Amino acid sequence: MPTGRIIRSIAGFYDLAETNGAGSGEMVSASAAVFAQGAPIGSSVVVNGIRITRCRGKGTFRKKGITPMVGDLAEYTEGGLVTAILPRRNEMIRPQVSNVDQALVVIAATVPEPNFDLVEKMLLMIRRAEIRPVIIFNKWDTLEETDCGQIRERAEGYRKAGFRVICTSAATGLGVEELRAELAGRISVFAGPSGVGKSSLLNSLLPEDSFATGALSEKIQRGRNTTRCAELIQLPGLQCGQAALSGGQPRVEDGQTEPQIGQPGYLVDTPGFTSLDLTLYPDDLAGFFPEFAPYLGKCYYTGCRHHEEPDCAVREAVSRGEIVKFRYESYLQMLAEAEEAFPDSELYKTRINTRKEKTP
């Protein structure tokens, strides 16, 4: 039985690119849009020597609550039936994708106006899934030189908080090579609202003759291209000189080596989304803010939620400017949401008790 990776998921159909051997994880070198609409189940095409088969999921998947997703390694039959999903390394709910190395949170510097509450939630979701986040400020060309406002400050703030931030323009090519180096040798996924330029950035990473727009985006009535389905695309390998552009950042954090010449990247283009419904647990939250890490465990109260508790190491770090203020504020906002959802959690009770004991 062949094993493959799901490279596209649309309306209950899955396109699987054959891989070598069960769970080998070897990536496919397929490009997008290989099937005409309405291609029958079990039909296949060969792209760059890789067979891609149009499939549907086994009937029992639904009953068992199994949802195949782009990035999945799966077993399937020649007839086009996905029979088993192999264990996932990680998975994200929105956009729905599995087995990725990093998620690129894309926002536009100007239009559509960035929703930073959503950005913060995306970052939390990504960290929770144990995926490396990268923040992309696209449409940087539309930012006025004189604008010294919120956007530049935000970008700097995220850098200070330890995030990899890349400012790009799909229109002028700014930052595109830096992005390419960041993608080399990894499987990445775009996450972000509609219209921020995800597909445009993807196109700017592809050779001109293989522009993916037609495949990735359907023109909707108002003349806008909007991506309808998640789709995994292979990027061309790094060329001589491009490897040096990875921002000088070592990749030790995810155990990967520096990008090599010729090493391709893989990118999942996804449809935009405007909201994210996350279940937040009050006592887990701080752990998803990487810049809080040096201070956790150093507060006076054992179960400190870093809000109004005295002698809080996190709050002190904020007042010393070591933790970026907007990040702490977004922590507080999410904490309020979480405490509303879980007012009487066991951990919360423990904290109160601990506090009573310790109060002088």
Judged by the rule CB under 6 A, the positions of this chain that interact with ligand GTP are 138-139, 141-142, 169-171, 194-200, 217, 225-227, 271-272
Task: Give the one entry of Mg ion, Zn ion, ligand GTP, none that residue 354 binds, where binding means its C-beta sits below a cut-off of 5 to 8 angstroms depending on kind.
Answer: none
**DSSP codes joined into one string, 111-175:** SSPP-HHHHHHHHHHHHHTT-EEEEEEE-GGGS-TT--SHHHHHHHHHHHTT-EEEE--TTT-TT
Mention every residue, 6+ apart, whose C-beta is less than 8 A from residue 189: 71, 92, 95, 97, 100, 102, 103, 104, 230, 267, 268, 270
Query: In DSSP terms, which residues pair with 135 in a beta bridge?
Result: 105, 165
Largest CA distance in the chain: 74
Residue 58 found at the interface with Zn ion (CB under 5 A): no
Q: Can you tell me the distance from the alpha carbon of 129 to that of 147, in angstroms, rounded to the nearest whole number? A: 35
Q: Can you tell me the distance from the alpha carbon of 187 to that of 183, in angstroms, rounded to the nearest whole number? A: 7
Binders of Mg ion among 217-236, rule CB under 5 A?
Answer: 227
Amino acid at 150: Q
DSSP H or E stretch at residue 233: strand 230-234
Which of 184, 314, 323, 324 is in the footprint of Zn ion by CB under 5 A? 314
Residue 227 beta carbon to Mg ion: minimum distance, rounded to whole angstroms:
3
Task: Give the one entry of ligand GTP, Zn ion, Mg ion, none that residue 196 binds, where binding means its C-beta sits below a cut-off of 5 to 8 angstroms depending on kind.
Answer: ligand GTP
Closer by beta carbon to ligand GTP, 34 or else 143: 143
Task: Give the one entry of ligand GTP, Zn ion, Mg ion, none that residue 312 binds, where binding means its C-beta sits below a cut-off of 5 to 8 angstroms depending on kind.
Answer: Zn ion
**77: which DSSP letter?**
-
String marking each residue 176-215 x if it binds Mg ion according to CB under 5 A: ----------------------xx----------------
Residue 138 found at the interface with Mg ion (CB under 5 A): no
String marking each residue 281-310 x if it binds Zn ion according to CB under 5 A: ------------------x----x-x----
Task: Report the candidate in 210, 196, 207, 202 with the shortest Cα–Cα distance to residue 232.
Answer: 202
Task: Give the one entry of Mg ion, Zn ion, ligand GTP, none that residue 102 binds, where binding means its C-beta sits below a cut-off of 5 to 8 angstroms depending on kind.
Answer: none
Residue 102 beta carbon to ligand GTP: minimum distance, rounded to whole angstroms:
17
Give residues in contact with Mg ion (CB under 5 A): 198-199, 227
